[in-house]
Structure formats: C-alpha cells, structure tokens
Structure 1
Amino acid sequence: MIKCRIIALTLLGLLTAAMAKAQQQRPLSIAVLANATALPTRTGEIFRSVHPGLAVGTAFRYNQNPVNQLSQTLKVGYVYHQFVQHSVQVYSELEYKRLIRQRVSLAGALGAGYVHIFSATQVFRRNENGGYEEKPNWGRPQVMGTLALGLGYLLNPTSDKPLEIFARYQFWVEAPFVRQYVPVLPNTALHLGLNYPLFKRNN
C-alpha cells in the first residue's frame, strides 16, 4: 500500500506541473484495445487470445512547438481477461510526439500508475466449520509501468479542432502479481482510437 501511495503522489505531482504549464488545447483521447498477457516478443498473442479493453484520457502540453510536442498524459483504462480478472487502471505518461508533413505523427511514451484488480470468478475461503464461504471481491492494488509507441494521422490539420486517428502499441507490467512465482506480470496491448481537442488551439 505504501508503494501505491508513493505512485499516486508522484502522478499527482506530475499532473499538477503539467497543468501549470498547459497553455494549448487539451485533447480527449478514446481508444478500444486488445490486451494479451505476453512479452513484446509474442505480439501475436494479442490476436490469438483477445482480452478487450477501453482507455480514456487527456494530455497537458509542456511546450508550444507544433512539430516537437512534449506532453503529460492522464488516462483511465479497463481490461477484461475472461475467467481471470477485471483490471482498472489510472496512469500518467511523459509523451513525446513528432509531427511529420502536417498530418502524420510518431509518438513515444513512458509512464507509471495504479491498477486495481478484481477477480472475474467467485473466490472462496475455508470457514471455521470446515466448509467454504464466498469471500468479498474487494480486489487488490497493483503498481503498473508502461511503455508505448504510437502512429497518428490528422484528418483535418488546418481546422481549429483537428481530429486525429491513432494506433498505439503498449507494453505494460503489473506488480506484485503473485509473489511466489509471477511477481511481475507482462502485458501487451494494441490501441485504436481518436484524439479530439476539447478547446480551440492557440497556435
């Protein structure tokens, strides 16, 4: 729990700093995703065993450069792993985006956050009478780290509110998963989504 509190305070500090410097538009980001419990070397698992999810977030710009953009993201995500767990994520990333020829962008992001995991099946415990009773499903806290690469395309780059479609490949880990034999659980996720500015841009 102490580690989770440290992560939460760090995220709050990063977000506060980003908001203080944010002078431009703040995008609303919405993406559907396919998740797999696998290392990046086994990317094909994403398509073989699809575990669906959703990610929603925004970003706060650190600079005003229209080509080289540095931002702090804040995102909330959900992933459903059938028969195993529901994962609720809250995380922040430092993201660098490079705009190429007005429409295409490449991005990289590194971040950390908090995951709360709920069992997708009933969990029982042995009672004093030797029988079994269902345990409350309050879930358990986890720490997460994330690394992502993205490709974006602006549909209307000259508009005051340009709409961007994007694909994002994310590698993220959660810990401690099972201390005895899987302390760190690797995940890969493919995001497909939209970025839409909530306010007009100033540049």
Structure 2
Amino acid sequence: MVYMKRLAQPRTWPIEKKEKKYIAIPLGKKHTESISLVCALRDMLHLVKTRKEARNLIRENCVFIDNKAAKDEKIAVGLFDIVALPKIKKFYRLVLSNGKLQFEEIAETNKKICKIIGKKILKGGKIQLNLYDGKNFISDKKEIAVGDSVIVDIVQNKITGHLPLKKGATLLVISGKYASQQGKLLELEKNKAILQCENKKLEVPKKNLFVIG
C-alpha cells in the first residue's frame, strides 16, 4: 500500500491529521477528489476499526463500488461514486460539501452522475465518450460534449440521461479555491465560466466545473 504523511493530505479529506502519521493514498484517481476505500470504510463511515477488518469485508464480497465488487482496499472511491454494502442494506454516495469530501447515506439506487472528459469519433461514425470515473461508452448521441454530464445506470451499464453544460445549468465546483460551491451558469467562455452563487458571482476555470442539474 502507498502512503503519504497525514500532514500533507489534501484539504478535501475530512480525516484527523494528528491521529496517525501516515494515510493510504487512493489509487487510480485524483487525490483531491477521491479517498481510498480503506479510509472510506474506517475513517469516514466508521464501519470497521482497522485496515484488516476492511480487507476482510472486501474479501467476503461485502463492499461494492458502482455495482462492482471491490477487490482491494487501496482503490479510490471518487466523487459521486456509490459505495454499497447490500448485506447490511447500507448505501452511500461520495459528495463534496463545505470544502470536504463526505458520504451521504442514500436509498439503494442504480443511477450515478458523471462528467464527460473526452470524446472521440470512431470508425463508422460512432462516438466514444470518456467519463470522469474512468468508464467509457460508445454512443450515437452527437449532442453530448466534453464538459457535459450524463446519468449512468450502473446496473445496466448504459447512459440514461444528459445534462449539458449551458447557461442556466446547475454546477458544482470540484477543485480550486471555490471547491464545493454550487451555482447557476451565467456565462461560458473558452476556458472559464461565470457562476451565480447565492448573492455573488464567481469566475471559475471551466475544468473545475461539474454539471449536476
């Protein structure tokens, strides 16, 4: 397992820095927008007390991320990923609130929101969409653009909805100094956007935005 010193952990991690010296680094996703599964189970959800207990849960196929059985306590749980423990009927979504990653308990669901980070035209005119969480889909929906979000059915593994990045859309800022702020899109330029957040306007890099409504 790869570690970092807790004093150097991202500000988005809601974990006590002085309790222990080291903390597990999530593998496979951006650190500021994800947490390792062992930290999720032990330090945030308090479902286990030790790394060994977390590993045992995983080995017994008790933990699922986006409807897939987790195989390793080091893997990353990313923003909007769904962590399910069906044997005890517990379901959680990782969100960003008040500048921190947090788990919200939810009802059992097969729906997940995800951002489009890449788009490629394939032979025959089909389109490959690359998603924020590492998934890829083949689609014929030419209107879906990089920066938009889609609703994914994680059970049937297909896109069921489209949330375009356009004026009036509800956006979440996922990184930078305004991380966790939400607002309506007022203006969109090549590399930045203007958001109306309550009674103030924010100028945010386009890459830091996530369409949520």
Which structure's relative contact order is higher, taking Cα pairs within 8 Å and 6+ residues apart?
A: 1
Q: Please say which structure displays the higher CA radius of gyration.
A: 1
TM (norm. structure 1) is 0.23
TM (norm. structure 2) is 0.22
Task: Write 1 or 2 for the structure with the bigger share of strand.
Answer: 1
